[in-house]
Structure 1
Amino acid sequence: MTRTMTGGCQCGHIRYTARLESDDAYLCHCRMCQKATGGFAAAFVQVPTTAVAWNREPDWYESSPIARRPFCSRCGSPLGFDFKESSGEMDLTVGSFDEPEYFHPVAHAGCESLHESWLDTKDLPRHYTATTESVASRWKAAGLEVPE
């Protein structure tokens, strides 16, 4: 079953539509992805390159001799990963989708740099933005509601 989903960068300058065949996603733990996203891993959805339509072409960063990464030069949002020598598929960042909750992780990649302590966090205290006074009060002072 094909599902069409939308996504884009934080500021909205770059938007895309992607046709997806599944809800599979994966985490890449390699050092390149850690540095490119600033996280312990990058969460990706692999899609055929031809299944992605950009509202405007993103900027591309050549992150290594073999790969490049789309991003928004206005807000800095990382949007994906693509091999320079096209395999016919590329990755889009899970967090850049408008409905990231649709996806489910099915694999880990780049496990040589995996940080085990960041995988199982279910027992850590949970703090919600709307009830975290140091954040919520700043949104209120700006005359805005706390975003989801």
Structure 2
Amino acid sequence: MTTHAGGCRCGAIRFEAKAEPIHISYCHCGDCRRASGAPVSAFVGFRADDVAFSGEAASTYGAAPITRSFCGRCGSPIAYADDRLAGQIYMMLGAMDAPEHYPPRVHGYVREQLAFFHIDDGLPRMETITVPRSQGAQL
């Protein structure tokens, strides 16, 4: 069984997933840009039950239905969870120990992509979400 591990910059928070990722994507939305401080974010999604955290507890913020976590010591973004995606957690690609092992498979929220930022990788490009939310949920 493969273990997928990561953590924050200072090492106060660590995590491991004992199952394969369920989703890997880029997100170009303004909310993810602000949360990461980068022109695009990338995420590795797992079933929440397959992820175990160790070390310090992450700090959280956000407005329902989104909760984002980060290290309260070094400020590194760790993950986000969406109430409409029950049982799933999306780790920041940059928090993974070996991010090169998780090439994104799709671009999300390209309608909000910065005009000067282009990744010409041939991946599918979604105008909005890349993972369907529960019935009736909208972003």
The TM-score range, normalised by the shorter chain, is 0.7 to 0.9
Distance 2:106 2:119 in 1: 15
Aligned residues: CA RMSD: 2.1
Where does 1:1-148 land on structure 2 (aligned, <5 Å)?
2-22=1-21, 25-56=24-55, 57-61=57-61, 63-84=62-83, 87-120=86-119
| Fraction of identical pairs, as percent | 31
Q: Note if contact 2:21-2:45 (Cα within 8 Å) is conserved in structure 1.
A: no
* 3-state SS in 1 of match to 2:33: helix
* 3-state SS in 1 of match to 2:77: coil
* 3-state SS in 1 of match to 2:116: helix
* 3-state SS in 2 of match to 1:95: helix
Distance 2:106 2:14 in 1: 26
Code of the aligned partner of 2:13: I
Deviations 1:83-107 (A, max 9, x none): 1455111100111011111011101
Residue 30 to residue 74, structure 1, CA distance change in 2 (3 Å): same
Code of the aligned partner of 1:58: A
Code of the aligned partner of 2:39: F
Q: Note if contact 2:22-2:47 (Cα within 8 Å) is conserved in structure 1.
A: no
Larger Rg: 1
Partner of 1:126: none
Instruction: Return the TM-score normalized by structure 1.
Output: 0.73
Partner of 1:129: none
Q: Note if contact 1:24-1:103 (Cα within 8 Å) is conserved in structure 2.
A: no
Q: Note if contact 1:23-1:103 (Cα within 8 Å) is conserved in structure 2.
A: no
More helix by share: 1
